Structure 1
Amino acid sequence: MKKRLAALCLALMAVTAPALAAPKPEIEAGFRRFLEAEIWPEARANGVSRATFDAAFRGVEPNLSLPDLQLPGQKPKVEEVNRQAEFQSPAAYFDEKKIAGVVAKGRALLQANGALLQRIERETGVPGPIVLAVWGRESGYGAAKIPYNAFEVLGTKAYLSRRKDMFRAELIAALKIVQEGHLKVSDMKSSWAGALGQPQFMPSKFRALAVDEDGDGRPDIWNSVPDTLASIAHYLQMSGWQRGRPWGYEARFPAGVSCTGEGPDRPRPIADFAKAGVARASGRGFPDAELKRPGHLLMPAGRLGPAFVATPNFYVIKEYNNSDLYALFIGHVADRIAGGGGFDARWPGASGLTRGDVSRLQERLQKQGYDVGGTDGLAGFKTRRSIGQAEEKLGLPATCWPTPALAKKLG
């Protein structure tokens, strides 16, 4: 009897268990075939020599510990836990001790590099504190260790990630960086996402946007502070930075201004915000020069945290890293490097939902006809305002923030 029950359990497990990923030796063999049959011909067509290609991949194996991989035989799924800081709890991301350290170092560097940053601002329109904030966030002003083999990361992601085409292009760009003599293979270290150097440029961004500011004949984002700072500013300039405008303002929004109006696709003159009773948290009025210019409602934690009137420059910062929290961190730290203070409102703690929970909430909203911007488990502005619309439809106060209570109601 026990044997029959055991056999029945095994049979049920075989039916209900998800398909297992291919064994590691199979993945490694497929990786080598992929490199030889697909990447080498494309690299050769882009001027990469066989010697460079072989040196780049000597001893390289796929790194299966990297996030956002889609292994052969494995069903697509959203990870339950979000490993990228920019999409986790706002309260953790804006930890005051961490921010204070970045600000203090940034203020010292603003003094030490004042003339250089002023020159860069004249060239690009991007203020020095913004440039310093990006540098501080990306690599701790050049002090952070960047441990990964770039060819291991980019090769793995070109073969196994959900965005294979993007990483394939970045892999070819990385090979060209070595071929063109910018770095040796042994010096090609990257983040887990394949980003390089002190400003953490993806390889294609380095080739397109890196600047030789120190005049030595080559852009060097690994060892040259002038090149690093100018390259960051050039990146933002080419992304559309509007000279002379701030990134935005922390503000207090009356109850009559709904959080469902958030988003870069819903601009309005800043004067309209003022007429609706929106006031800067600092107590100062909006600058006269800004009143006729477009602004955007921004509530990264819905009604539960600080709120902002953002300018188009906020969304330029998002071109560097497509996260509201990242762009807000850069703007806030830049303001404080320039002498400003902390946030007026407090950030909420963790929502109590995992990334997988938010993805399932998005799926339910999407089925009801809401545009959530994708079911990736990340509460971007389309998800936030859709939540607010659903809350209003249910007769609830609109918070525009994912909560266990709303997930249960929509369940």
Structure 2
Amino acid sequence: MITLRFFFNLCVLLGLVAASPAYAQSRGETEIAFQKWLSATVAPDAEKRGVTQPTLQRAFAGLTLDWTLPDLAPPGQPGREEPQRQAEFQGPARYFDEGKVKSLAQGGRSRFRSLSRTLAEVETRYGVPPSIVLAIWGRESGYGAAKLPYSAIRALATEAFMGARKENFYPELLAALEILEGDHIALKEMKSSWAGALGQPQFLPSKYLTTAVDFDKNGRRDIWNSVPDTLGSIANFLKQNGWQPGVGWGFEVSLPPEITCSLEGPDQGRPMTDWLAMGIRNADGTPINARAQKQTMHLLMPAGRYGPAFLVSDNFYVLKTYNESDLYALFIGHLSDRIRSNAGAFLGRWADVGGFRRSDVRAMQQRLEARGVDVGSADGLVGYKTRNAVGAWQTAKGVPPTCFPDAALLKQIR
């Protein structure tokens, strides 16, 4: 006989099973929900932005979810921590692999010569040096050689529907549909990275709409196939974000041991004369050129005391608008120098820092935030505010500041 207690326990058990990941929404059910979402949510929002029904029908015809993409959180399944897929999450030594830098520098110098006329016209119009434009082009797509295997609409629609960061991808999906409406690129040629970054400059669709240019004057802003459009668009992006013509990005320096690494960051800029008074010199020990002494410069130490130090201008932070990473902006500046003047590698050495998880950094940041410490953002990345917070904690504990954590320090800082 089935007792009331047995029936109650059975219901509880069934409830627990139904909530488990094994009983999550099936792929078929998710695909059906995806189609409903396209018609009920995406289409009306796109129409409000001027996208017509023929364009929507063309974009959505046969469209299915791409289950191979990273960062997915399908309905009924628990979310996953954002994976550390970007190179910016790696240690600096790997990021500045000399073989890769040298190869890109050689490719950039070759194109500096072959595209000299176009590059000169780009600099005249936007004020951005050819070497900077080439460095970004080389870093983003290997001067156009990198293959973009994803359909931009499919990738963006998938991430906007069931990605771990839906709110970031949904506006980009709508912007991509606007690009199709403008007939700048055929749907089958609209290729992107898995995260929807478009063409040779790797613009997100929203950035394409505001900064891509038709530099070759053929009626289309084609950053997939046109080198002039690609170069002009990169330069226009930097100009719109405040690039100052005639100002370099920065240079490597020798930092005396008595200068604290916690002076780093864009909010602690000082006239060059102040840095000189502290004893900062060029990386090779020679005096810094007097012509730049009135310029405001900022200390940059991406690995704290475990790597080279730099003085950078406001243009360095313009480079960061392209990719919000100190290492990325430094890579572009360094590659630009090696394209322009055949400069060598950094004189300072990168220690083997890292070896911790992004979640460990985030946990440390959250503990510091709870104490009222400004770490910038508890995002798991060791940005300059987090580096300064680490240095301040070390100083308060009587430890020589390194301004960069290791696995043990992440657990100690509270």
TM-score, normalised via structure 2 length:
0.90
Q: Secondary structure at the match of 1:309?
A: strand
Q: Distance in 2 between matches of 1:249 and 1:20?
A: 57
Q: Secondary structure at the match of 1:249?
A: strand
Q: Is the 8 A contact 1:68 1:161 kept in 2?
A: yes
Q: Secondary structure at the match of 2:122?
A: helix
Q: Distance in 1 between matches of 2:362 and 2:90?
A: 14
Q: Distance in 1 between matches of 2:259 and 2:25?
A: 52
Matched, 1:191 2:193: yes
Q: Secondary structure at the match of 1:319?
A: coil
- From 323, 330, 353, the equivalent of 1:321 is 323
Q: Distance in 1 between matches of 2:346 and 2:383?
A: 21
Q: Distance in 2 between matches of 1:62 and 1:350?
A: 38
Aligned equivalent of 2:3: none
- From 213, 219, 222, the equivalent of 1:220 is 222
Q: Distance in 1 between matches of 2:208 and 2:392?
A: 41
Matched, 1:168 2:170: yes
Q: Distance in 2 between matches of 1:288 and 1:73?
A: 63
Aligned equivalent of 2:355: 352
- Residue identity in the other structure for 1:255: P
Q: Is the 8 A contact 1:157 1:167 kept in 2?
A: yes
CA apart distance, 1:266 = 1.6
Q: Is the 8 A contact 2:71 2:80 kept in 1?
A: no
CA apart distance, 1:103 = 0.4
Q: Secondary structure at the match of 1:142?
A: coil
Change in CA separation of 1:265 and 1:117 when aligned onto 2, cut-off 3 Å: same
Q: Which moved more, 1:157-166 or 1:182-191?
A: 157-166
Q: Is the 8 A contact 2:256 2:280 kept in 1?
A: yes
Q: Distance in 1 between matches of 2:288 and 2:129?
A: 19
CA apart distance, 1:361 = 2.1
Q: Which moved more, 1:36-45 or 1:205-214?
A: 205-214
Q: Secondary structure at the match of 1:320?
A: coil
CA apart distance, 1:374 = 2.1
Change in CA separation of 1:270 and 1:27 when aligned onto 2, cut-off 3 Å: farther
Please give the root-mean-square deviation of Cα atoms over the aligned residues, in Å. Answer: 2.5
Q: Which moved more, 1:135-144 or 1:345-354?
A: 345-354
Aligned equivalent of 1:380: 383
Q: Which moved more, 1:58-67 or 1:374-383?
A: 58-67
Q: Distance in 2 between matches of 1:300 and 1:217?
A: 42
How many residues are aligned here?
A: 401
Runs of 5+ in structure 1 lacking a partner?
1-6
Matched, 1:395 2:398: yes
Aligned equivalent of 1:63: 66
Change in CA separation of 1:375 and 1:72 when aligned onto 2, cut-off 3 Å: farther
Aligned equivalent of 1:3: none
Aligned equivalent of 2:99: 97
Q: Is the 8 A contact 1:78 1:355 kept in 2?
A: no
Q: Distance in 1 between matches of 2:39 and 2:306?
A: 52
Aligned equivalent of 1:138: 140
Q: Distance in 2 between matches of 1:359 and 1:307?
A: 25
Q: Distance in 2 between matches of 1:24 and 1:402?
A: 42
Aligned equivalent of 1:47: 50
TM-score, normalised via structure 1 length:
0.91
Q: Which moved more, 1:397-406 or 1:131-140?
A: 397-406
CA apart distance, 1:304 = 0.2
Q: Is the 8 A contact 1:210 1:231 kept in 2?
A: yes
Identity within the alignment, %: 49
